[in-house]
Chain A
């Protein structure tokens, strides 16, 4: 606890300890009070298996979409100088501060059956996003994309631009440099952004239910299932939360050793 710079001061240690307690205590309490005996029974239910599969599927697809769209946007924000860049960066962050339900309402007004884009789209093609798994993914992407963009943009900024210059002097086109230099150097940030996006998607509830609705097998994800169980079967809700918690933990721990240990 002490080194040549002096002891770690209590005014830092005490809040750090409080922060740890605040983060860990509720999770530990959940583990302690969960009806473990119901776990097997719960895991066997069709509803849980459907919701879990759908959660993993939509979170994973949404993370992929976030990467495909977020990496280029982060690159543009970090590397291209254009008027309105600061404004665009601010706009990208806005979904972070929106209450999830508001995010859902915003999505409805754009892509809903009566939305600005949703209505003409439905009229022209008969397709609409609400009540579909694609709608769930769109909601997840909407709330997760800011994490990916912010995280990758930070990584691109700290992965110094001089390396791009070095690549250019060696004859690399911008796209070649992007693939062979920019992305590899930003990899820790990209991985962190994707993990954040995946975790955010897995826990997403408000925007999903407001925009895509709730139907088992199509749009019902774990958080919705848990929320609905709280009213009728509080014990079951705890067990379901436990399953979601363990699932997220397993993925985060598996990823941590591989991706999150940044040099």
Chain B
């Protein structure tokens, strides 16, 4: 029996089973419309849902939102605009009957912990996106929730701001001690902050595993793209290989490569020191990505629309089955 056992359905949106223990940070990823936000809102009791979410033996689904003992960080923060940062953070303790002075003291501690202690008297309108999100995280953590829900906390932030917030969030979550559910569309969040990844696709759980498993053996195109892997599917059999393992030729290769496809270059983008090609293979074959050196690209004149052959050696391919389906 895990600390958290969930089996719930938001009709028409998402249906998911998963379990977690204290200390787990579960990243919830998937394309838009996969049901990520619906899942989190269902756990919080903010959308109608059926099923069970057992946390320490209590079924949360039978409780109103306010009794579920959650911390929620919303995508657009939803800081109360009429209260300053400190009173926003103090709101939870106040609602639970803590005295004003005590609640404010705890709020100040959490604001300092999140690095925004000096902004305690600012209203949300006077905070930047990153500052507001820190206040929102402090507000969610101040009530010592057992379950913390974060709905795309990094979205809408500048890249630099998101990076530093991600590092801090990872630190706070590792100290948190409860269970965190982090909705994200960023592979970095999933790989750096979480110890479990829940992949949603079309309202169903496509994969649930460690970041390593999910990034090495993705079962959905969405995750494959997120982590930059080529994944070829044949029934339940999946084969994954790195873009760097792909060889690009202008004529059909004759060597030992077992896997080869004809196609056209559909996109060329810089990727680190290399160039990343997207090759649309003929006969509705898979869309593959290949990393080539700029020198090779020049030599082969790899421009948009160029007909090429791509191939990969069997030794570079990981074969696995999709066990969750």
Contact = CB atoms under 8 A, between A and B. Distances in A.
Which label, helix, strand, loop or mixed, suits the secondary structure of the B interface? mixed
A170 B139 contact: yes
A206 B67 CA distance: 52
B78 A171 contact: no
B293 interface: no
Contacts, number: 59
B46 A180 contact: no
Which label, helix, strand, loop or mixed, suits the secondary structure of the A interface? helix
A171 B143 contact: yes
Contact of B80 (A168, A171, A181, A187): A181
Contacts of A166: 72, 74, 78, 80
B64 interface: yes
Contact of B91 (A170, A173, A187): A170
Contact of B72 (A169, A177, A181, A184): A169
A36 interface: no
Contacts of A181: 80
A227 B94 CA distance: 55
A134 interface: no
Interface string B59-87: 00000111111111010001011100000
B101 interface: no
A169 B70 contact: yes
Given A168-B65, A171-B66, A185 B82 contact: yes
Contacts of A173: 66, 95
Nearest to B41: A165
Interface residues on B, range: 20 to 34
Contact of B46 (A163, A165, A171): A165
B72 A171 contact: no
B92 interface: yes
Contacts of A168: 45-46, 64-66
A176 interface: yes
Given A167-B95, A170-B66, A177-B95, 5 more contacts: A171-B95, A172-B91, A173-B66, A180-B91, A181-B80
30 contacts: A162-B74, A165-B46, A165-B65, A165-B78, A166-B78, A167-B80, A167-B91, A167-B95, A168-B64, A168-B66, A169-B65, A169-B70, A169-B72, A169-B140, A170-B66, A170-B92, A170-B95, A170-B143, A171-B66, A171-B67, A171-B69, A171-B96, A172-B66, A172-B95, A177-B95, A180-B91, A180-B94, A180-B95, A181-B80, A185-B80
Interface of B: 44-46, 64-72, 74, 78, 80-82, 91-92, 94-96, 139-140, 143
